[in-house]
Structure 1
Amino acid sequence: MTEWGHSEAYDGDRDGGHGGHREPDRAAARVPVPRASVEDGGRPLPDPAPARAPLRLDHRVLKALLGAWALAACSVAETEAVEEHLGECGACADEARRLREAVGLLQRPDSLDLDPGLRARVLEACLDRRPPRIPVPEWARAYDTETARLDALLQDFGDGEWHAPVRLRWFEGKEATGRRTTVAGVIAHLLAVDGLVALALGLDDPLAAVTGDGEAGRPGSPTDRTDAFWAAGRFPPTRTVRGPWREQTHAVVRTVSFTGGGPGTMPVSYGAFDLPLRDALLDRAFECWVHGEDIADAVSYPYKPPAPRHLHDMIDLAARMLPGALAERRRTGLASPAPGRHLAPAGRPGRSLRLEIEGRGGGQWLIPLDSPAAVGSADHEVAHVALDDVEFCRLAAGRVPPEDAAAGQLGDRAAIRDVLFAAASLSRM
């Protein structure tokens, strides 16, 4: 029954001769009603309804309401009447306390935030009952999951959160660097760089719509595309960037699903280098998670790592890219030169570092040290490094200094240092 229903009913009882009397109106609220808000476009809010007289209920009715009060099922007026009565009636106060304790035993207090794994569990249960006619390829599921998790984080953001400051960080050469932006700017960055995958799949380039530039259909580097996107607008990006980013992620997943997935070997250009489509989507999933953490930190909200199987795939991609990154640093004089007597021909075993990643997403990888074309070999192992799975990913994202990353080291110190710095150099804007 609503507050109005109770008021009218009991007013009728009092008029019928039960001896009740009306109390004067209570004082105005100490917290003033806001006059306007962002959502109202600055228009003044309507005047609040005048305060109503409190309910005056007899002991029998108030005792009957104790169960509903314990379950927080009373109207505002009923709650006020019950709580006023509890301060005067010891028997009802004892009963109310017992009822509240019983309610606490029925359901333990849980966070109101949805479990990040809920979506995956619901989909898994649905797919067990009815497999999809057009399934998402296994190698695209990390991207599908991480974009959905980030979108769930963004859905309730107000203007203040969208303009919260964020620092994009990565490792360049011998030191960390970064750029300052906002939450909306981070999503604009993801939209611009995800556009590299969209272009490879024959989808529209998001830069074309923003810049109006006919040349926007060229891949370019992630940094160049982000700078072009940020510079195209007269004002910094706002919440409006979420819609295009979300539509693009859906279009990418839908396209790779409808085309049958295949082996995912289609090349995706990053400007200076190419990645196979399956690795490019893993790379985009990894960056989506890392920037999701950046955004969550900016608004002081918890954000969990990816599912273990997706985390393992991301680590595997980084491990496979390490020999090339190490060779590039050696070419530019940033890593120690390979000993000439140990150089291994392509496809042959050579000096190796054992990378042991602990945690549910971990495993072990043998990293060839002297040539990207060589093969890692346990018989030629010269060093061993152990790191936590999430810690390694944050190293590869440029969030952890290489000097502080390793949990355990054994063997050739120069090789260990070179590999840790090569892992950090995988990061980029």
Structure 2
Amino acid sequence: MTAYDEDETGGNGGNGGNGEDDATGGPADGPGDARPGSFGGPRIPLPRVSVEDSGRPLPEVAPAALEHHVLTSLLGAWALAACSAQEAAAVEDHLGECDACADEALRLREAVTLLQRPESLDLDPGLRTRVLDGCLERRPPRIPVPEWAAPYDAETARLDALLQDIGDSDWHAPVRLRWFGEDGPASRRTTVAGVIAHLLAVDGAVAVALGLTDPLGDITASSRAPAVRTEAYWRGSHAPPSRLVRAPWREQSHDIVRTVSFTGDAGGMPVSYGDFELPLRDAMLDRAFECWVHAEDIADAVDYPYEPPSARHLNGMIDLAARMLPGVLAARRRAGLAAPGVRPHLVPAGKPGRSLRLEIEGSGGGEWLIPLDSPGAVGSAEHEVAHVALDGVEFCRLAAGHVPPAEAAAGQVGDREAIRDVLFAAAGLSRM
């Protein structure tokens, strides 16, 4: 028995060999058709056209004639939309007549909604990183971004994504910049646009060190101190900052990342902040830290969800703050803001001295031994006199001046005076 669609006379069994169109509505002239008098291959029917695509009215579904106990047993399947069209029509007709089944159907539908977990419309915050990592695995960049510049690259990109989402009116939302000065907490009122102008002006110190254009242009600042540069930029602007400041800030951040990638430098180039200098690799970490802190200020002002940096980048920021603590502690001591200690242990530079163990918990955490009596001394476990433990994000907010030292959620053991001085020195790292 063959699989040919021909009758004994060689005619087409589908249309009686009369040459008319086949049942699908198209002419039966395909390469697999068998015409009268021909001996072609097996006939392959053309695809059927869906009723929805044909323009014809959909057929009416007649409810199935079912008994009450059968309809009752179908309520669960109906609630899950698992019935056939006829069964669903029968159940729905029955629900209009039977109050008991209608109540049961409502209860089952509510239970189904509890089982279906609504999907969040928010994008996964790690999506960008995973996509970029996947792309770079397939095609590594010819000029990669140095590892010490990656936090700045990531934080400016995250802030730029926030700015992309906010509306025109949000740019004028009030923001209060906060830091911890010598006399205690300090603040400055501005707007979202003013915060971006502040970042543009202070990032300009790195841009100038790299030989890029100073965003201040013809505006004269009395020093390169961040606060001085910011105030000069605000005063020198012809109008209050608006959303137009985003474009120069974004372009400058891209230029900085591109330039440090092409320099091939190890990050040792000095960057001046007026009264102090940082090597380029630390200045980039500092700018990443401030970008994150001020992005949170903006996010709070416009009610926008914002997450801390990745653990690896957060660890780098905490490490920079821990390395800067001895210098800040010494400066506060010279200014009479910190006590010299009941039993100071002065040692030559490079030698172990009296130390505090700083334990950072959570994401990006670790342990650091902070020399207490001299910035040139080396932290030593043998000379440990105190131990402080803080959460990583809490420590960063302390270093940003957003948490008063006396209110920091810190576990403390040992020399109370040393602990107080280090907590206040951490807050003293902050600036406008």
TM-score range, shorter chain: 0.7 to 0.9
For 1:59 and 1:93, locate their aligned partners in 2 and report how far apart those are by CA, in whole Å.
27
Cα deviations by residue, 1:180-208 (Å, 9 ceiling, x for unpaired): 00001000000000001100110001110
Which of 232, 250, 255 aligns to 1:251? It is 255
1:291-310 alignment to 2 at 5 Å? 291-310=294-313
Partner of 2:173: 164
For 1:258 and 1:154, locate their aligned partners in 2 and report how far apart those are by CA, in whole Å.
28
1:145-164 alignment to 2 at 5 Å? 145-164=154-173
For 1:156 and 1:360, locate their aligned partners in 2 and report how far apart those are by CA, in whole Å.
27
Change (3 A) 1:359 1:340: closer
Change (3 A) 1:123 1:338: same
For 2:393 and 2:103, locate their aligned partners in 1 and report how far apart those are by CA, in whole Å.
51
Change (3 A) 1:89 1:133: farther
For 1:104 and 1:267, locate their aligned partners in 2 and report how far apart those are by CA, in whole Å.
60
For 2:330 and 2:139, locate their aligned partners in 1 and report how far apart those are by CA, in whole Å.
48
Cα deviations by residue, 1:377-402 (Å, 9 ceiling, x for unpaired): 00000000000000000000001110
Change (3 A) 1:59 1:99: farther
Instruction: Kindly report the root-mean-square deviation, in angstroms, between the aligned alpha carbons of the 2 structures.
Output: 3.1
Amino acid in the other structure paired with 1:322: L
Amino acid in the other structure paired with 2:208: L
Give SS of 1:207's match: coil
Quick check: 1:199 aligned with 2:202? no
For structure 1, which runs of at least 5 residues remain unmatched after alignment?
A: 1-5, 14-56, 62-69, 72-84
Kept in 1, the 8 Å contact 2:341–2:417? The answer is: no
Amino acid in the other structure paired with 2:185: A
Give SS of 1:206's match: coil
Change (3 A) 1:409 1:100: closer
1:121-140 alignment to 2 at 5 Å? 121-140=130-149
Which of 417, 421, 424 aligns to 2:427? It is 424
Change (3 A) 1:145 1:101: farther
Partner of 1:265: 268
Compare CA radii of gyration and give the structure with the larger one.
2
For 2:210 and 2:105, locate their aligned partners in 1 and report how far apart those are by CA, in whole Å.
67
Quick check: 1:183 aligned with 2:192? yes
For 2:124 and 2:234, locate their aligned partners in 1 and report how far apart those are by CA, in whole Å.
33
Kept in 2, the 8 Å contact 1:219–1:269? The answer is: no
Quick check: 1:220 aligned with 2:224? yes
Which stretch has the larger CA shift, 362-371 or 127-136? 127-136
Partner of 2:416: 413
**TM-score of the two chains, using structure 2 as the length reference:** 0.74
For 2:171 and 2:398, locate their aligned partners in 1 and report how far apart those are by CA, in whole Å.
27
Change (3 A) 1:89 1:396: farther
Higher helix share: 1
Partner of 1:351: 354
Partner of 1:388: 391
Amino acid in the other structure paired with 1:248: Q
Which of 317, 321, 325 aligns to 2:324? It is 321
For 2:268 and 2:199, locate their aligned partners in 1 and report how far apart those are by CA, in whole Å.
22
For 1:337 and 1:297, locate their aligned partners in 2 and report how far apart those are by CA, in whole Å.
39
For 1:88 and 1:237, locate their aligned partners in 2 and report how far apart those are by CA, in whole Å.
63
Which of 345, 363, 366 aligns to 2:366? It is 363
Cα deviations by residue, 1:85-132 (Å, 9 ceiling, x for unpaired): 9x9899999999999998997x84333222222111111111112111
Partner of 1:238: 242
**TM-score of the two chains, using structure 1 as the length reference:** 0.75
Kept in 2, the 8 Å contact 1:207–1:229? The answer is: yes
Amino acid in the other structure paired with 2:381: A
Kept in 1, the 8 Å contact 2:344–2:354? The answer is: no
Cα deviations by residue, 1:16-56 (Å, 9 ceiling, x for unpaired): xxxxxxxxxxxxxxxxxxxxxxxxxxxxxxxxxxxxxxxxx
Which stretch has the larger CA shift, 320-329 or 292-301? 292-301
Change (3 A) 1:98 1:125: farther
For structure 2, which runs of at least 5 residues remain unmatched after alignment?
A: 1-51, 63-79, 82-92
How many residue pairs were aligned? Answer: 350
